[in-house]
A and B are shown apart, each in its own frame.
Chain A
Amino acid sequence: MTTLTPILPVKQNSIRMALVIARREIRDSFRDWRIILPIFLLTLAFPALMNFTARRAIAFADQYGAEIIATQLIPFLLLVVGFFPMSFSLIIALETFVGEKERNSLEPLLASPLTNTELYAGKMLAALAPPLTASYLGMLVYMFSLWTNLAWRPEPELIIQVMLLTTVQGVIMVAAAVVVSSQATSVRAANLLASFIIVPMALLIQFEAGALFWGNHAGLWWLIVGLGLTAVVLIRMGLYVFNREELLGRDIDQIRLGWMFQVYWRRLSGQGWSGPKPLRVRRFPRPLVWYKETFAIFPSLLQPIGMLLLAFGGAVLFGIWLAYQYTLPPEMQAELTGANMAANLEQYAFLLTALPLVIILQNVRVIALQALLGVFTFGVLAVLIFMLPWGVMAFLATQFYLAGQNPFQFLLAAFLPHAILEFPALLITTAAILRWQVVIIHPSPDHTLSENFLMRMADFTRIFLGVGLPLLITAAFVEAHVTTRVLQMIYG
């Protein structure tokens, strides 16, 4: 053997490294007939079939003078022709990390000088490039044959929209599938988890089909923007959660409720997470220490609070805009007076005793909904739910203004006394929810994804129990007993 002096390999350009990975994977895919044959069929045979379907549909609709229905079907079929080959990206992407792990080829790759980003980008590109190329080719074949057979020339806007939709859908599917693949313990587990991608995508296609059928191009542009943002979030999430450690270290995919509870309880009760060996868990934490720890979470809430304040501003502006768009008719405006409000309140005075409980339960229910729905939407629905009451409030105040009333007097009488407490309570609690739910996109590197998730959930519970709930209870009593009196005083 030749004796060679050890040389430290030089750092390569990141794009080049990602392309090395992508090229190998693509070459590998093109050597697998199980991938290449269906892609080939979907690129050539399927567009021909769709072309035949389009012609038959047009001929059929022509008999009844419903050409418009048939012509609206053509763009939808274009979308379908583009989507079918794209579905292969999901299969390739789902297999990408976990498949290599099962074939034991991942470890040498992880020991190479590749960075996580290079490896991740290379894998994504490899999963995306062949199906996307097949998609574009399929759409070209479909459009070309329609042009030759029916002289159908699509509008450039439609072509751009469908191509962008196909691309963005592909990126979303691949990004989500790569996340699944990097977190799953086996190909089987990854395939099972794929339903979380397939079902929303199927619904999305139906929605897009509806928009295309009705020719709602403006709506499609918004959809493309929304999907583009989702793709960015998913790619970012994939990059953050991609972790060499987890790829090789995780072998068991059972749910360990005991361990989950332990991590959650330690954080919630103030035991912290200081190592693998179970600490002696105190049954109940010391209140003062617990509150001190809870307030220590506050600095990390500043960023989500900032975002929520922006969302609050947006909700207020949207409420005002809506009020101008949908101004109440004069007869309804005439009824929109403080005096009417005070009179209405008097009718329901007997309910005041139970009102605080109703308000508390309502607010707790809303927070539970935010927590639940936010988990599946990376906090998006939690923010939207937070925005809702403030948007309604701004809408009503503006309607008062448009009816010739003083909107500030209305806000002072109907909202301010309890909102002083309720607003910070909802702001802080939603910020804790948001901080918890975006942890999937940006987890701390010191802990695993599940630990991060459970610990942030415990932080939210602390904030809710220690700060949010007491404030909401107080606000409910203020709303029932103080706000009503202020309203009576001002308008009564």
Chain B
Amino acid sequence: MIETENLGKVFDTFTAVQNLTLNVPAGQLLALLGPNGAGKTTTVRMIGAILKPTTGHARVNGYDVVTQADGVRRSIGLLTEQPGLYTRMSGLEYLEFYGRLYGIPDKETRARGKAMFERFYMAGAEDKRLGIYSKGMRQKVGLIRSMLHNPAVLLLDEPTSAMDPHSAKLVRDAILELRNDRRTVILCTHNLAEAELLADKIAIIKQGELVAQGTFAELKQQLLGQPQLEVRVDKPLNGQAKELDRLVTVESVHNDTIRYRTDNPDVTNPQLVRCLHGLGLGVISLQPVSQSLEQVYLRVIEEIEVNE
């Protein structure tokens, strides 16, 4: 549904994006992560046929972003980081305006608009001027606008950035529904928990270059290695952890807890438990240490900074 190959964008002498190759099949959600100024917005603008790539090419819903820009624009719904509404219009007037641009009859736009306002707990506000809406409400109106024409592809730039937790949850649920409805979504976000929750695939870009791409599990495996395991024993450890070195790679020891990694947990974990018993220590718990997307992200960024 979205394919880019060696996509690049240069503004005069500044390279904003380079050699970006992505593939997001229909019904998948790709989270595009990266520090500020990494090139996420430029990427979205190129995919949305607003900016022409300097190098490479991209296809969205089968349309080339340069030669068939019109087809691309009719296939996408774009939510920008700043929703940029017309503040003298009411919510419904605003949606009607965009509805007309997409050829949707006013009556249908109003019906869809009202349903979505209700869905996002904004019923009653649709006839009020957008100028008096709160930040979060404006962001929701922007999201409604991007979904108004039921696009096959949604490009969402920081959709929950200005929202309270409840509104953010509503928006996340809506995004999940869109994904389940076979819409293809690119989500740019700094909210890593949100990305972890929603994304089928994650792409991390830095200084315009793709530095990591894959599912969360793949990235964890690739960047953090085997999952870390934690065993808790019933007595404080007094140097006895050294005995475990021949079985596993001990990474940290803290009072009654040992964190370690192993390439073959099926074999080494029972051995480790037996060993601990042998040392007179009872095992209270043995579990994998949870790894977050934040760890993955920070590892990627740190690695690049070290290499630089």
Contacts and interface: CB of A to CB of B under 8 A. Distances in A.
A7 B13 contact: no
Contacts of A11: 70, 74, 103
Contacts of A110: 50
Contact of B115 (A2, A20, A28): A2
Interface stretch (A193-201, A241-249, A397-405): A241-249
Interface string A216-245: 000000000000000000000000000011
A20 B100 contact: yes
A245 B150 contact: no
Contacts of B177: 1, 3
Given A7-B149, A24-B86, A28-B88, A12 B103 contact: yes
Given A9-B149, A20-B100, A31-B88, A108 B78 contact: yes
Interface string B89-120: 10000000110111110000000000110010
A149 B146 CA distance: 58
B48 interface: yes
Interface residues on B, range: 35 or more
Tell me if A's interface is mostly helix, strand, loop or mixed: loop
A108 B80 contact: yes
A7 B148 CA distance: 11
Interface in A275-295: 275-278
A185 B13 CA distance: 18
B32 interface: no
A106 interface: yes
A112 B82 contact: no
Interface residues of A, number: 42
A244 B177 CA distance: 32
B76 interface: yes
Contacts of A8: 71, 74-75, 152
B84 to A, nearest CB: 3
Contacts of B146: 108
Contact of B13 (A103, A105, A111, A276): A276
User: Chain A CB within 10 Å — which of B52, B142, B146 has the most?
Assistant: B52
A113 to B, nearest CB: 5
Nearest to B98: A112
A217 B267 CA distance: 104
A32 B89 CA distance: 11
Nearest to B174: A1
A276 B54 contact: yes
A107 B50 contact: yes
B80 A113 contact: no
B142 A108 contact: yes
Contacts of A4: 150, 181
Contacts of A113: 70, 73-74, 101-102
Contacts of A115: 70
User: Chain A CB within 10 Å — which of B86, B146, B152, B174 has the most?
Assistant: B86
A5 B10 CA distance: 37
A104 interface: yes
Interface string B247-278: 00000000000000000000000000000000
A114 B50 contact: no
Given A104-B82, A108-B142, A248-B51, A259 B150 contact: no
Given A107-B84, A108-B84, A6 B152 contact: yes
B15 interface: yes
A17 interface: yes
A360 to B, nearest CB: 39
12 contacts: A1-B115, A12-B103, A20-B100, A28-B88, A104-B82, A106-B84, A107-B50, A111-B78, A245-B50, A245-B51, A248-B50, A259-B12
Q: Which 10 pairs, one residue from A and one from B, show the smallest C-beta to C-beta distance?
A: A104-B84, A105-B84, A104-B82, A276-B10, A6-B152, A111-B78, A9-B102, A31-B88, A4-B150, A20-B100
Interface of B: 10-15, 45, 48-52, 54, 70-71, 73-76, 78, 80, 82-86, 88-89, 97-98, 100-104, 115-116, 119, 142, 145-146, 149-152, 174, 177, 181, 183
Interface of A: 1-12, 17, 20, 24, 27-28, 31-32, 100, 103-108, 110-115, 244-245, 248-249, 256, 259, 275-278
